[in-house]
Structure 1
Amino acid sequence: MVLTTARRVLRSLVVIILVTMGSVALLSLAPGSAASVILGENATPAAVAKLNARLGMDRPLWHQYTDWLGHAVTGDLGTSPVTNESVTHAVLSRLPVTLELAAIALTLSLAVAVLLAIVSAAREGSAVDRGATALSSVLLSVPAFIAGPVLIYFFSLKLGWLPVSGWARVSTDGLGANLRGALLPAVSIALTEIAAFHRALRADLVSTLREDFIAAARAKGMSPAYVMFRHALRPSSFSLITLAGINLGRLIGGTVVVEILFSLPGLGQLVVSSIVSRDLVSVQGIVVFVVVAYVLVNTLVDLSYQWLDPRVGKVAAA
């Protein structure tokens, strides 16, 4: 088990190193130079040369990477030449918004999807199963940029239950106001996640419920609910956990449309504003942060398989 864990951690480190090398190399691939892109077409050669020297772009690429990596491992992702703000500070100040949005969306989608999947699998082929499958197909075809305006129209403009846009902070506005502001964007994201989670878990549950050990449990007189939750749900959760881990990592950096639509000060809003202002240093730092978070989340998901079924670790070690 220890060897398997070490191998997976090592693979994750290799991925992170390759991604960081690529992100640093991308700056040198900018037309002309990164400084000329940041400063614009009207920049003087002296200003471009000065900014290139400040960014370290006048040194060999390997030197740029080792210098950047030495700062990055201490938490320093550079300083924006546009705003003069630390990229790390900019990311961390907006990260709570994106994390809360992703966490609420993931929690809602998992809760609804698990319930639907259990009901569908327990009544395979019934009208309830067909209805849940049809609902998941509809939800899967509704992207967040469509669901968001629809939810705003009904729950904000027509009913007036929830705010149209903006973000309320817990420290200043209270938890209630914060959750009211986060609910609509979280639901906009969760709709398609519900469909994906439902399909994955239902398929695995249906397959597991046909196994011999499930038939043996039923033959012993165990209740359907006990068989479902004690014997079937846990070994059927591999695909769901994998999908949830992948989607959580994706949501950390993939809530751009929703954050723009609802005017939320998260990472999505930050990366869009950095791109518009041609702040390549900030874009680089955000990309590296999101990738590292994505890799770490998926590494934890891989390691969780051994908790769900110890046989996975034995097979991998063999």
Structure 2
Amino acid sequence: MTLRLGGRGWRATALVARQLAVLVFSLFVASIVIFASLEILPGDQASILAGTDATPAQLEQIRSELGLDRPAIIRYLDWVAQAMRGDLGSSLIDHRDIGQEIAEKMAVTAPLGLAALAIGIIVALPLGMLAAVGTNRWYGQAISGASQLGIAIPTFVVGIVVVRVFAVDLGLLPAQGFPADRWGSPVDAARSLVLPALTLGIAHGAVLIRFVRSAALDVLEQEWVRTARSHGWRLPLILVRQGLRNTALPLLTVVALEIAGLLTGAVIVEQVFSLPGIGQLVLTGVGNRDFSAVQGTLLFLTALIMTMTLALDLINRLVDPRLAVER
């Protein structure tokens, strides 16, 4: 049953409030999963910090200082309360503020992800529509086959290929690394991200091509398309003038679903290209058993993914009222 809240503005407000409540609950569940997953991992943080020559008394002292001797539920509640205040804690290894560390790493990961997303969309829109126009022709089938191949090939393999072509054979771009002064040298920093972004963009562009093709085929089956064709309009012109608008919403939905995969792929790509991004922070924390850093980083990434997905979903629903179903 549809509940009228006094206009579209009230319905939009109710929708946003409901989605925010779902976000808060989801983050709460995610925090439990993150904390519990790290809690059951083997290894003693006190032993790692104290070294192999530590005495039992020294280990107990370190556990007491870190609060590891307290019940897990107390440590979880303290961690969540601290995170709600915007404090993700400090590293157990170098005592650096985790929030500051994440901000430094995201200065590499965020531009990489945005550039990869832009490349994926730029690749997917024309090729997906071309595949729809030529669905029964050789070029349409070739594009569909290439997209399936792009989905199947692991990201690190794509990275190796682009490094071989653009860095080794052509010598146009650096193969690995990032400037020591980060964005103090904008041109060098941007050049360092071209190949990683291209690698990640190709992988996700292959996924988006399939969805753009499917959305474009739905457009081509509409009655108004047949009417336009009867008046002499050609299919490419129809798709450019009308199809882009009709495929925008389905593409936005898929982009929202792809955000998590984009960040996961960024972690892998950062390792291939030796980039000091968020992936390096997570893997270093796991290797050092720095669970405080890992917990804070995973919670931040989870909140980021959920928030971005929620924002895109709300935009999608508010732009297309058919999706904003009130119950």
Q: 1:19 and 2:21 equivalent? A: no
Q: Deviations over 1:12-35 (max 9, x none)?
A: 111101111222334443447543
What is aligned with 1:129?
140
Q: Which residue, out of 92, 111, 133, partners 2:103? A: 92
Match of 1:143 in 2: 154
Q: Tell me if the contact between 1:141 and 1:192 (Cα under 8 Å) persists in the aligned partners.
A: no
Is residue 297 of structure 1 aligned with residue 308 of structure 2? yes
Aligned AA (2:185): D
Contact 1:24–1:64, Cα closer than 8 Å, also in 2: no
One-letter code aligned to 1:317: E
Structure 1 residue 140, shift from structure 2 partner: 1.9
Mapping of residues 152-191 of structure 1, within 5 Å: 152-168=163-179, 171-174=183-186, 176-191=187-202
Structure 1 residue 223, shift from structure 2 partner: 6.5
1:281 to 280, 292, 312: 292
2:245 aligned counterpart, secondary structure: coil
Which range is displaced more, 57-66 or 75-84? Answer: 57-66
1:127–1:209 distance in 2 versus 1, CA, 3 Å: same
> Could you tell me which amino acid in structure 1 is paired with residue 326 of structure 2?
A
Root-mean-square deviation (CA, aligned residues, Å) is 2.4
CA deviations over 1:100-121 (Å, ceiling 9, x no partner) = 1111111101101111012222
Structure 1: 4+ residue segments shifted above 6 A:
220-223
Deviates more, 1:121-130 or 1:48-57: 48-57
Q: How many angstroms apart in 1 are the aligned matches of 2:317 and 2:232?
A: 30
> What is the Cα deviation at residue 202 of structure 1?
0.3
SS of corresponding position for 2:315: helix
Check conservation: 1:234, 1:308, Cα contact below 8 A: no
Aligned-partner residue type, residue 276 of structure 1: G
Post-superposition Cα deviations, 1:212-246, rounded to whole Å, max 9, x if no partner, equal 24334555776655642454333333442232223
Letter in 2 for 1:84: H
How far has the Cα of 1:299 moved from its partner? 0.7
* 1:248 counterpart = 2:221: no
**In the TM superposition, what is the alpha-carbon distance from 1:285 to its structure 2 partner?**
1.1
Question: Which amino acid in the other structure matches residue 19 of structure 2?
Answer: R
User: Residue 208 of structure 2 contacts residue 251 of structure 2 at CA under 8 Å; is this kept in 1?
Assistant: yes
Are 1:261 and 2:291 matched, yes or no? no
Task: Quote how far apart the aligned CAs of 1:275 are.
Answer: 1.5
Distance change (3 Å), C-alpha of 1:170 and 1:50: closer
Is the contact made by 1:28 and 1:34 (CA closer than 8 Å) also made in structure 2?
A: no
- Conserved? CA contact 1:249–1:297, under 8 Å: no
Which AA in structure 1 matches 2:142? Answer: G
User: Is the partner of 1:260 in helix, strand or coil?
Assistant: helix
The 5 Å alignment of 1:200-215 reads 200-215=211-226
Would you say 1:116 and 2:127 are equivalent positions?
yes
Which consecutive unaligned segments of at least 5 residues does structure 1 have?
none
Report the alpha carbon displacement of residue 296 of structure 1 after superposing the two structures with TM: 0.8
Which residue of structure 1 aligns with residue 326 of structure 2?
A: 317
- Residues 55 and 215 from structure 1, CA distance in 2 versus in 1: closer, same or farther, beyond 3 angstroms? farther
User: Of residues 46, 55, 63 in structure 2, which corresponds to 1:44?
Assistant: 55
Closer/same/farther in 2, CA of residues 131 and 223 from structure 1, 3 Å limit:
closer
Mapped to 2, the partners of 1:144 and 1:86 lie a distance apart of 32
> Whole-Å Cα distance in 1 between the matches of residues 45 and 253 of structure 2?
38
Q: TM-score, normalised by structure 2?
A: 0.87
TM-score (norm 1): 0.89
> What does residue 15 of structure 2 align with?
4
Q: Which segments of 5 or more consecutive residues in structure 2 lack a partner in the other structure?
A: 1-11
Q: Percent identity?
A: 28
1: CA distance, partners of 2:265 / 2:189: 21
Q: Tell me, yes or no, if structure 1 residue 29 matches structure 2 residue 37.
A: no
Structure 1 pair 54/252, CA: closer, same or farther in 2 (3 Å)? farther
Q: Displacement of 1:141 after TM fit?
A: 2.4
**1:66 partner letter:** L
Amino acid across the alignment from 1:251: L
